[in-house]
């Protein structure tokens, strides 16, 4: 049942190229310049009329939502607010008939996310779910659904559900961008071309497994980790930190790299490994200079990048070199080494990777 893998989590990490290919399949037109979302149940006219978009979710799905904000604001030019379901449901959100709420849930049964969905409906808004489980409560009660085709996810720590949520958000952002006339066919074609290379690039990222295992062995004794990222990589830093906490029981925090000097830099010493997600994009140099600040204080750095420059190597104790892709899709790629890092640290520590203490796969109570 684990397909030769030692844990479901490792199997599910390796299933990502396939899960992502399945999530894309059937959703691109023949000319490759349009996204088809059959179960959205909202016409282009209806979609074009929304003036407010909330993304609501819990845990890892909330992290996907944070990346979604970048995608939708950039590609569809609609302002997006992302909220944690247990907060949203109690704060009298500003929902009316011109509001779309996008709920994200792997299981489709998370109590707070379901309550947030109902809250949006009661206030007259429409709800679309990004969901992995067909006919789950959240899928059934939403006006429309974008299913992630990740297949069953057994490990409590979400992996392939997360990256397929990112792909679903990307598809939705392209669709909304076209409907709102913010994207030309040419731009759509370019984005879709990049998307279609994603499964292959993920295969390449998975080849880092052995290197990551040996770096994990080196760092497994640390009692705290800091994860840094900027822009659309900040949510990936949060997700990396959550993954480590959940399965290895090591305390970890995610921070926006530029915020480091406003407090967390006080924590840096030789005992605090810092994991930095630093792809070659507009803020690359800024993040490298954040890394240099960490190094100057004796901190140890593991970096994840598609850039093979000497400044990066000299600022890092280990570099996980990932393949390159468009900046909008890079968070899918950088997620993979972070999943593997937490997995191998947990295995070295001997924790119950698939069933970590105190956690349930789906949280059906408040």
| Catalytic positions, written as ranges | 361
Selected from 23, 106, 303, 316, the binder of ligand M6R by CB under 6 A is 106
Per rule CB under 6 A, count of chain residues that contact ligand M6R:
16
DSSP assignment of 327-343, as one string? TTTHHHHHHHHHHHHHH
CB of 288: closest distance to ligand M6R in angstroms?
30
Element (H, E) at 216: helix 209-219
Q: Interface residues for ligand M6R in 226-255 (CB under 6 A)? A: 246
The β-bridge partners of 319 are 303
Cβ atoms within 10 Å of 139's Cβ, excluding its own: 22
The β-bridge partners of 321 are 305
How far apart (Å, rounded) are the C-alpha atoms in residues 76 and 176?
A: 6
Q: What is the largest CA-CA distance in the chain?
A: 57
DSSP character for 362? S
Q: Which is nearer to ligand M6R, 156 or 226 (CB)?
A: 156
CB 149 within 8 A of CB 19: yes
Binding piece for ligand M6R, criterion CB under 6 A, among 53-61, 115-123, 178-186, 226-234: 53-61
Q: Which is nearer to ligand M6R, 180 or 344 (CB)?
A: 344
Selected from 16, 23, 61, 232, the binder of ligand M6R by CB under 6 A is 61
CB of 191: closest distance to ligand M6R in angstroms?
25
CB of 101: closest distance to ligand M6R in angstroms?
14
User: Does residue 362 interact with ligand M6R by CB under 6 A?
Assistant: yes
Selected from 99, 101, 148, 158, the binder of ligand M6R by CB under 6 A is 158
Tokens 């008939």 locate to 97
CB 334 within 8 A of CB 322: yes
CB of 164: closest distance to ligand M6R in angstroms?
11
User: Does residue 16 interact with ligand M6R by CB under 6 A?
Assistant: no
Q: Which is nearer to ligand M6R, 211 or 362 (CB)?
A: 362
Q: Which of 45, 323, 57, 44 is nearest to 169 (CA)?
A: 57
CA angle centred on 81, ends 115 and 87, rounded to 5°: 35
User: Does residue 59 interact with ligand M6R by CB under 6 A?
Assistant: yes
DSSP assignment of 172-218, as one string? HHHHHHHHTT-S-HHHHHHHHHHHHTHHHHHHHHHTTHHHHHHHHHH
Binding piece for ligand M6R, criterion CB under 6 A, among 35-43, 105-113, 122-130, 292-300: 105-113
Binding piece for ligand M6R, criterion CB under 6 A, among 90-98, 203-211, 330-338, 355-363: 355-363
User: Does residue 101 interact with ligand M6R by CB under 6 A?
Assistant: no
DSSP character for 28? B
How long is the chain?
Answer: 366
Residues lying near ligand M6R in the complex (CB under 6 A)? 58-61, 105-107, 110, 113, 156-158, 246, 359, 362-363
């Amino acid at each position: 049942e684990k397909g030769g893998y030692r844990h479901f989590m490792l199997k599910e990490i390796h299933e990502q190229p396939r899960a992502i290919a399945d999530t894309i399949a059937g959703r691109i037109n023949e000319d490759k310049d349009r996204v088809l979302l059959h179960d959205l149940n909202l016409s282009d006219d209806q979609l074009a009329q929304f003036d407010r978009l909330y993304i609501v979710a819990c845990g890892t799905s909330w992290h996907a939502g944070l990346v979604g904000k970048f995608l939708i604001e950039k590609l569809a030019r609609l302002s997006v607010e992302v909220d944690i379901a247990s907060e949203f449901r109690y704060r009298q959100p500003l929902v009316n008939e011109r509001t779309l709420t996008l709920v994200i849930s792997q299981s489709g049964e998370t109590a707070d996310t379901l309550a947030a969905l109902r809250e949006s409906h009661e206030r007259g808004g429409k709800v679309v779910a990004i969901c992995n489980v067909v006919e789950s409560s959240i899928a059934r009660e939403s006006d429309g659904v974008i299913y992630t085709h990740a297949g069953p996810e057994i490990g409590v720590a979400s992996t392939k559900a997360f990256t397929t949520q990112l792909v679903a958000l990307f598809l939705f952002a392209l669709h909304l961008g076209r409907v709102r006339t913010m994207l030309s066919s040419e731009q759509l074609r370019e984005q879709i071309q990049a998307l279609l290379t994603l499964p292959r690039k993920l295969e390449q990222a998975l080849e880092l497994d052995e290197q990551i295992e040996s770096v994990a062995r080196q760092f497994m004794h640390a009692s705290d980790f800091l994860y840094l990222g900027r822009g659309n990589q900040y949510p990936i830093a949060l997700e990396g930190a959550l993954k480590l906490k959940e399965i290895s029981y090591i305390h970890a925090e995610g921070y926006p790299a530029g915020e480091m000097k406003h407090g967390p830099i006080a924590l840096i010493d030789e005992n605090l490994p810092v994991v930095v997600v630093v792809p070659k994009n507009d803020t690359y140099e800024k993040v490298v200079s954040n890394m240099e600040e960490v190094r100057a204080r004796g901190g140890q750095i593991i970096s994840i990048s598609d850039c093979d420059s000497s400044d990066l190597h000299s600022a890092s104790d280990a570099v996980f070199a990932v393949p390159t892709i468009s900046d909008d899709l890079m968070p899918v790629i950088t997620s993979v080494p972070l999943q593997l890092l937490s997995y191998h640290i947990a295995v070295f520590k001997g924790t119950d990777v698939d069933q970590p203490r105190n956690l349930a796969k789906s949280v059906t109570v408040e």
